[in-house]
Amino acid sequence: MQTTPLMLIPLAHVDADEATSVFHDFAEEWERRRLNTFVRHCDRRRYAHAHGAMRLALSQVLRRPTADVTLRRTRTGKPYLRGGPAFSLSYVDGDAWLAIGLEDALGLDVVDLGPAEGELDELVAPQAEKHAVALVMPSLARPDVVVWAAKEAAAKLADRVEVAPEDWRVRFTHCLEVSADGVPAARVDIVRMDAALVAAIARPLQPGDAATSGTQVAS
């Protein structure tokens, strides 16, 4: 199987002033309404920076001026570009990460494997699902958290964030496969980015898919 090219971009590296300026100049009306729902200034600043930085990254990939990057959204509020490329945004510890690929859709969830208060409930991360994750990436300190991330990534891919985590199923076939009733199965790649951060990247499952971690992390 040939892996579809994918970029994984840390938006924290994008200049805050430039990104925020881009947001205020070019944000869609629905983005401005969303910004106004945040009570805390730090949350408003984080949202404006992430969406401005996302526009800058997409404009580079599309080779278009930032003003020409028109974001649309689905019924659940998921942003997308008509005609692609596919992209997905994830927040972790106040920072934002952006995945950009060539598929019709993708889903990203980034998690921190650092210290936490106990393991996730068995209902959310059953032992069999943690074992499936371990087959893809052995010796993970928190396979339960990665199970959660795989389900979140699949939910973003399918735009089915209303499906509860316990209703998703994670198993290993030729790759890590995540599905739920009435939702097409997703293939999820797990990528370790550093000692603490792990990304789960969901893409449509194709015949013959095999586990891979061929991801480009942009600086």
- Asked if 63 and 153 sit in the same domain, the reply is no
Residue ranges of the alpha helices (H) in 27-142?
29-35, 41-62, 127-136
In a domain, 219, yes or no: no
Residue where a domain terminates, one of 101, 122, 148: 101
- Asked if 96 and 117 sit in the same domain, the reply is no
Measured between alpha carbons, how far is 70 from 59 in angstroms, rounded to an integer?
10
On whether the CB atoms of residues 146 and 78 are closer than 8 A, the answer is no
- Asked if 68 and 124 sit in the same domain, the reply is no
Measured between alpha carbons, how far is 117 from 189 in angstroms, rounded to an integer?
26
CATH number at residue 35: 3.90.470.20
Domain span at 52: 6-101
In a domain, 1, yes or no: no
Residue where a domain terminates, one of 84, 101, 118: 101
In tens digits, the chain (219 residues) has pLDDT values of: 334 568 899 999 999 999 999 999 999 999 999 999 999 999 999 999 999 999 999 999 999 999 999 999 998 889 999 888 999 999 998 899 999 997 778 999 999 988 767 788 899 999 999 999 999 988 888 999 999 999 999 999 999 989 999 999 999 988 899 999 999 999 999 998 888 899 999 999 886 665 444 344 443
Say which DSSP state 135 is in: H
- Asked if 48 and 95 sit in the same domain, the reply is yes
Query: Can you give the pTM of this predicted structure?
Result: 0.88
> CB-based burial of residue 131 (10 Å sphere; 0-12 exposed, 13-18 middle, 19+ buried)?
middle
